[in-house]
Amino acid sequence: MSETTLIKRVSQGDHLAFKQIFNQHKDAIFGYSYKFIKSSTLAEETVQEVFLKIWQNRAKLDPAYPIKPYLYKVARNHVYNTLRNAAYSDQLKEQVFYRQTACRNVTEDQVVYRDLEAFQEQAIQGLPTRRQLIFRMSRTEGLSHEEIAQRLNISPNTVKDQITKALRTIKEQLHIHTDIAVSIAILFFL
């Protein structure tokens, strides 16, 4: 059954379709949450909250849009709320912040970094050829707008416009992966 059909059936209150979406995405949402809060209990709670919210708002689901970005957005918001609340609760602070440092894994960080680089490259390769060239000249070669304009015989405003459009496109692609977007933003702007 297609995702569009599943979403439509969920929006109509179909429990079996909801269960199928849950089974397809629960592990990914758990992993996404666990990366930030490093607690199985809190990550499981996030999964429950995400799918509870999906069920409660099922009538608003639009089958024309994929559900995955919505799931990640709800998960991200719940994780942020958990982290914000952890600042005020000693028990949560212990569970989230102190355990997170102890769970740090260098090999995992290297894998995530390689994945980040691959995802970044994929996003850039998805740009139109001319925009990709201008973006690479700016971000990879470190050329100014004026230098790019001179080399390509275009105006600096065109360069600025193309870079703005490139960043907007990349941002849209990274929307569901906020953690990746932040890391890429740091790589590009520092």
Same domain, 41 and 111: no
3-state secondary structure of 19: helix
Distances (CA, A) of 121 to 67, 125, 142, 181: 25, 6, 17, 13
Position 86, amino acid: A
- The count of structural domains within the chain is 2
pLDDT tens-digit map of 4-41: 888 889 889 888 989 999 999 999 899 888 888 777 88
**Domain boundary residue among 39, 72, 102?**
102
* Start-to-end C-alpha separation, the chain: 45
Same domain, 116 and 172: yes
Q: Which residue in 142, 189, 190, 131 sits closest to 165, CA to CA?
A: 131
What is the domain extent for residue 33?
3-102
Report yes or no on whether pTM surpasses 0.75. no
What span, in angstroms and rounded, lies between the C-alpha atoms of 178 and 182?
6
Percent of the chain with pLDDT over 70: 72
